[in-house]
Structure formats: structure tokens, C-alpha cells
Amino acid sequence: MNRMSKKVRLGIIGLGTQGGMYAKFIKDGMVPNMEIAAICDIDVSKKETVDAEYQGVPFYEDYIEMLDSGKVDAIITTVPHYLHPEMGIAALKRDIHALVEKPAGVYTKQVKELNEFAASKPELTFGIMFNQRNNPLYKKIKEIVDNGDIGKIRRTNWIITTWWRPQPYYDQSEWRATWGGEGGGVLVNQAPHQLDLWQWICGVPESVYSKVSYGFRRNIAVEDEVTAVVDYGYGATGTFVTATHDIVGTDRFEILGDKGKIVVDGSQVATVTRLKKPEQELSSEMGMEDVKKLFMGQMNMDDLYTQETIEFESAWGEQHAGVLENFAANVLDGTPLLAPGSDGINGVRLANAIHLSSWTKKEVSLKDLDEDFYLEELNKHIKEEGKFETK
């Protein structure tokens, strides 16, 4: 490692939209403890971009050649989802730190293989680009929930339909919105951050039942409309609704606890309600006079709860750059990771279970998800497409 400058030498695999964005952040000094050491892309025409914008940075067409060059301490995988696990393992095998893009993979069997290999190399840093975990609003909400401010969670709801994608978006490449090329639709492309945040803040559910539509409003094979109901195992439930055909879109996240409630609108503003006593105590202590006041709109709700509004300013790129900086800090001095790579399996498992529930029309356990059965069913869909090899 380049310890003289205390910077992690990063190799970027894939110079597309995401890879190009991360390269720019580093070049612009937004990640002070990291430098671009090499860039790899199977599209050799990208070498011209590298030579023009990142003078002196070597370009590779083959990522294995880059890993073996001795020029990089760490890599980030900004490539199609299926490739994240194999590239992560290839790096870790060579004692190179790995930061994978979301999702960690397409199916849990391959992500579990990545996690198990990473666990065998505890001296190496293994992270995932869950940049929303670095969103100050969601960090604050997690803190409020973890502190018990709203009590035990009773219900969660997230409707996230701000992903409107017109048909040409899907027509731009052969692999997009396919089972064999991308591994799914809105669940694996647009919504992984929310699937992660939902579980990071509220806990991992025990089971899920879903209604999913495939090619509902778009000419695609994969899902563009999802409604999922989860069971947390102690009477609490949650719902997750997402789609890519809602032109106006909604982003509203609610967490109801027995001592309060959090409502997040547009991932920007949160209203936090804290009850003076647990809801069941307030209920049991009321007399009929109180009930009459309630029905007549005369009850003073300030006697029951307080409300707080939370809002943060967040500069564009700050969240992604913060994850890169945190990852490098973990490499350099052991700073705890915001997003450990092993956490990536949670969102993949939930997405797999949502698919499987819709295919089988049954409730699916997340604790005992049948990974082999899921892969069999996924391969059936890949075969039906007839465009890609099975997994």
C-alpha cells in the first residue's frame, strides 16, 4: 500500500455511469484518503477517456490482469450484478480489499459464497456501496429506533414508486431488465437501497408473501410492479410497494411503534411522534368523557404526544464519497465500516423471497429460504428468455 501518502490505491472495474462518477469524486478530492490507481473496462474505447481525463492511470481490459499488476490495494465493482461476487472473491484471493456495488449479487447462493470467502480473510476490508446508510436522515432514524424512542415496532410501510422508467430505458441494451442479464427488475435494479434500509432500520423479517407483476406496464420479462407483506415474527408486519410505471411517484416510509411513529416523506423530511406513555396505557387509562372529546375533536393531543420534524441538507455525491472514504479509512486504520459487505445478503435474500413467493403463490420463510430451489426457478426463467446461459 502507498503508506507514504496514506491513500488507498483503488482499481475501478467498469467505467460506466457509476464507475465514472466514483472516479470523478476521487479526482475532485472528495475522497482524500483514496487515489485512482487503475481502471478496467471490457470496452477498449474507454481507454481514450482514461488517457484524457485521468492521465497516468493505467487502463486494463482484463480485471484479473489489473488485480495481478500490483498497482491496486482495493477494487470497486461497478459492473452487472451477476459479476459482483466472482470479482469480489478474485480480489480477496489476491489479498486485495473489495468494495462491491449494490446489490451484492442476484441470488443468495452466490452472495453466501462471497461472504464465506470474505470471512476467511478477516484481515481484508469487504464493503458494499450502500450509500443511503450514509444519508444523515436515515442514520438519525436508525438511531431513534435503536434508542427505543418509539418503542417496539408494530408495523412498517414503504411505498417507493419514484422510479419511472419509459420503455426506451429498457430498450437501450440487450441485458437490461432480463433474467439472464440483470437477474430481475425493480427489486434488483432500482430498489436495493430501500430493501437494505428497511431491514437495517426495522430488522430482518421472518417471512414474506408477495404479489408481483412481470411486464405489467412495460415490454420486459422481469418485475415492474411489486407489493410485498412481511411478518417480523412477533405480530408486527410490514409492507413494501414499488414500481417503475408511476409517472408522479411516491416515496413514503412509515414506522409505527408502541410509543410513537416516524414518517419519512421523499427521503428528505421525517416527522417523529413520541407518545407520553405507551399507546396501550393511554388507551386503557381513558374514560368515556375522553372518548367523547376525541370524537368531537376537542381532545388536546399535546397531552398525548410531542412531534419533531427532522431535515438535513446533503450535497450531491456526499453520500457515495462518504462510503468510499469510510471504506478507505477501514483499510488504513480500522475505522468501523458503515456498510459491511456481509450485510449485502439481506437485501438479496428478501428480493429472492419476494420473487419466489410470487412464483409459488405461497408465503416464503427468509430464515429457511431454499436457495437451490430459487436458483432452479431463476434458471427456468432464463431458459424461457433464450438469450443467456443459465447460472
Task: Spell out the residues 6+ positions from residue 232 whose beta carbon is closer than 8 angstroms to its own.
Answer: 153, 202, 203, 205, 206, 238
Confidence bin at 313 (pLDDT 50/70/90):
confident
Q: Is the peptide bond before 103 cis (omega within 30 degrees of 0)?
A: yes
Confidence bin at 5 (pLDDT 50/70/90):
low
Residue pLDDT, tens place only, 342-381: 999 999 999 999 999 999 999 999 999 999 999 999 999 9
Average pLDDT of the segment spanning 75-87? 97
Angle subtended at Cα 193 by Cα 360 and Cα 225, rounded to the nearest 5 degrees? 40
pTM score, whole prediction = 0.95
Q: pLDDT value at position 315?
A: 77
Q: Which amino acid is at 80?
A: P
Q: Does domain 8-129+317-340 have CATH number 3.40.50.720?
A: yes
- Using the Cα atoms of residue 226, residue 244, residue 190 and residue 317 in order, give the sign of their dihedral: negative
Domain ranges of the chain: 8-129+317-340, 258-313
Percentage of the chain beyond pLDDT 70 is 99
Average pLDDT of the segment spanning 90-118? 98
Long-range contacts of the stretch 120-123 (C-beta < 8 A, 24+): 121/92, 121/95
The DSSP output letter for 301 is G
Q: pLDDT value at position 2?
A: 46
